[in-house]
Amino acid sequence: MTITIDMIKELRAATAAGMGDCKAALQASGGNMEEAVKYLREKGLAVAAKRVDKESKQGIVALAESADKKSMALAEVNCETDFVANTDAYREFCASAAKVALEGKDIEQTLSDDYKMLLTKTGENVKIRRSERYVLDGEGVLSGYIHMGGKIGVIVEIGCGKAESASNPALAEAAHMICLQVAANSPKYVRPEDVPQAEIDAELEIKLNALKEQKGKLPPEQALAGIKKGMAAKFCTQICLVKQDYVADGEISVEKYLDGVAKTLGDTLTVKRFVRMQLGA
């Protein structure tokens, strides 16, 4: 397969590796972009192996919540240019889309006339990409957050054991801080037991191949089990919310932060779930 300069540039944009290294990776992978990213990671050449995505999307992630904050919804609406994304008409449509999602209705069907009018006004390909609705389940709180004017949207649900804790401002503050954590550190899962074993195995394969490349061979089998355990634990601190370093205090984990809040409340707290929408990702 012919490796073009555009393919090399795309891989470089995704990994920050050198042009020559990107060309070699594409040649080694037969032009497969995902395999080329994996190749560079194993060689230790990918500075930031970002998701390879040819589409550069503009738009807004909007948040809507009920008056009692027992239900919340996010909606992502894409357009072609940042200029359109900043118009009043577009922002109003996105806010309406989130409200419709909050009601549990289909956005495109419910806002059909408004959608057609928006297409006419903007002259752009506007796409209602996705939405997510959370309804509080049992005792606890929901918290929502919009970052960077609509580039990132987050909803977090935290459960508690006592009804009085749910109305305590300390729990509302904690839920808001967890929203900030999710927005900043982009976890994929709540806790390590939520991570599919296949995902851990794939990460270990990359790490072990890189180690072998660096050392020339892998350590003895008796030492390998401990190395794998350590690698898996470190991987989980990166992708699991409760194991991440707490953004407001890098000396403790999110788990330890929540334990402190729970102790103050005299209760038990559990992060039940979260959703993070990043524009175009």
The pLDDT of residue 149: 92
My answer on whether 125 and 60 are in the same domain is yes
In this structure, how many other beta carbons lie within 10 angstroms of the beta carbon of residue 104?
Answer: 11
Q: Is residue 111 part of a domain?
A: yes
CB 139 within 8 A of CB 165: yes
The pLDDT of residue 201: 94
How do the pLDDT tens digits run along the chain, 281 residues long? Answer: 789 998 998 888 777 677 888 899 999 999 999 898 888 877 766 554 453 443 447 999 999 999 999 999 999 999 988 999 999 999 999 999 999 999 999 999 999 989 888 887 888 888 899 999 999 999 999 999 999 999 999 999 999 999 999 999 999 999 999 999 999 999 999 999 999 999 999 999 998 888 888 777 888 877 888 899 999 999 999 999 999 999 999 899 999 999 999 999 999 999 999 999 999 88
Range(s) of the domain holding residue 129: 55-135
Q: Is residue 214 part of a domain?
A: yes
Q: Is residue 113 part of a domain?
A: yes
Task: State the pTM of this model.
Answer: 0.78
My answer on whether 87 and 129 are in the same domain is yes
The pLDDT of residue 53: 41
My answer on whether 38 and 66 are in the same domain is no
State the CATH number of the domain containing residue 38: 1.10.8.10
My answer on whether 59 and 130 are in the same domain is yes
The pLDDT of residue 211: 84
Domains identified in the chain, total number: 3
